Amino acid sequence: MSGKKVSWLKSCGAAWQGIVRTVKNERNGRLHLAATVLVITAGFLSSLERWEWAAILLVIAFVWSTELINTALETLLDRLHPEAHPLIGAAKDAAAGAVLVAALAAVLIGILVFGPRLWF
């Protein structure tokens, strides 16, 4: 039983290191971290409803998940094929596109949640 517990804890530690490495090494990771802190702070200051928190936390997780997958894919592809290749570029562009879609969704949900508090 303890072997599984240690394995799970090691997995969590490795996952956390992936997040930390992304924030340290990727400009967009730092941008997402700043946006996350800003939005969560704004949420506390705005006294969001439970459903609003659910929406905000869901899109934060969506953006971070796509960014981490994008970073993993780019890192792997750069290691496996360091020179430029059209198919590698297409894969990296598609992964970056997924992050863009997530970020745009987050902005729109942010407008829906915070907009009425700011403009009305």
Q: Is 74 a catalytic residue?
A: no
- Cα–Cα distance for residue pair 113/78, rounded to 1 Å: 38
- Cα–Cα distance for residue pair 113/49, rounded to 1 Å: 10
Catalytic position from the list 26, 49, 52, 67: 67
Are 117 and 46 a contacting pair, CB within 8 Å? yes
Structural tokens at position 34? 């700043």
Residues 6+ apart with CB under 8 A from 97: none
* Residues noted as catalytic: 67
